[in-house]
Amino acid sequence: MDDADALFKALADPTRRALLDALSERDGQTLFELCARMATAHGLTSSRQAISQHLDVLETAGLVTRRREGRYTFHDLDTAPLAPLRERWHHPDERTPR
Amino acid sequence: MDDADALFKALADPTRRALLDALSERDGQTLFELCARMATAHGLTSSRQAISQHLDVLETAGLVTRRREGRYTFHDLDTAPLAPLRERWHHPDERTPR
DNA sequence: TTGACAGGCAAGTGCTTACTTGCCTATTGT
DNA sequence: ACAATAGGCAAGTAAGCACTTGCCTGTCAA
């Protein structure tokens, strides 16, 4: 699975996109913080394990990095893999609609 | 399924992304043209029906429009649904890495 | 008119994936 | 020390999805 495939597969799930939303508001959230935030702010009722597995996928895609400190694991957003996505299929000058 | 979900699901498959690539090079291709292009330029060995179903998904996501003329169905790319994708999760001014 | 061409429709199949369940490890506060 | 906290690991399940198979419709050229 190449990088692009991992990236787009990661973005395909609404829960994972909500996680990126949550992390874009504030970096360094723990798994439990993200679980609470999903339940409240995003109205999702996902279990801890489900969220953890989603974070695994996001980490594989390079969108999330983890750093462990003591018994806490903090999650940070990395938007770098999204950069090539903006270039692709985006040539408004080349195709003027009407 | 909301719009964003349809969009990201559509982008999740590599064959569908290749179809968007092919259509971004030239609009107005027929199903058989796209089949041939997938086989040659993109090295994919997908059947006609498979490609057709992929185009259904892309059409649902609003990324491809179809126009029928006689016995031909021409396919056009529409990048408009991709626009909100550029804004989301990308605020480089708000998060300066390092 | 008849056959070839371009495409549509729908059911079935097998793999992927999101989620659960159950248990385990490590760290911290009292 | 011990219980609570924070999280990891792995197998099982059920739904989704990509693809095939088979057949049908509409269009055009000879």
Domain of A47: which CATH number? 1.10.10.10
Residue B18 covered by a domain: yes
Work out the pLDDT band at B33, boundaries 50, 70, 90: very high
Confidence at residue B11, expressed as pLDDT on a 0 to 100 scale:
98
β-sheet bridge partners, residue A10? none
Residues of chain A with pLDDT under 70: 1, 91-98
Domain count within chain A: 1
A8 touches chain B (CB under 8 A): yes
DSSP assignment letter at A82: G
Query: What is the C-alpha to C-alpha distance for residues A63 and A76, in angstroms, rounded to an integer?
Result: 8
Contact between chains at A89 and B97 (C-beta distance less than 8 A)? no
Q: Residue B31 has which token pair? A: 């199903």
Tens of pLDDT, residues A34-47: 999 999 999 998 99
Work out the pLDDT band at B96, boundaries 50, 70, 90: very low
Residue A84 covered by a domain: no
**Which nucleotide has the shortest C1'-to-CA distance from A75?**
D7
Residue B96 covered by a domain: no
Contact between chains at A12 and B17 (C-beta distance less than 8 A)? no
Rounded, the Å distance between the CA of A33 and C1' of C28 is 18
A35 touches strand C (CB under 7 A): no
Bigger pLDDT: B89 vs B15: B15
Residue range B42-58: average pLDDT?
96
Residue B91 covered by a domain: no
Which residue range forms the structural domain that includes residue B36?
3-78
Residue A15 covered by a domain: yes
Residue A27 covered by a domain: yes
Cβ atoms < 10 Å from Cβ of A87: 9
Contacts of B53 (CB under 8 A, 6+ apart): none
Say if CB B16 and CB B10 are below 8 A apart: yes
A79 touches chain B (CB under 8 A): yes
Residue B14 covered by a domain: yes
Residue A49 covered by a domain: yes
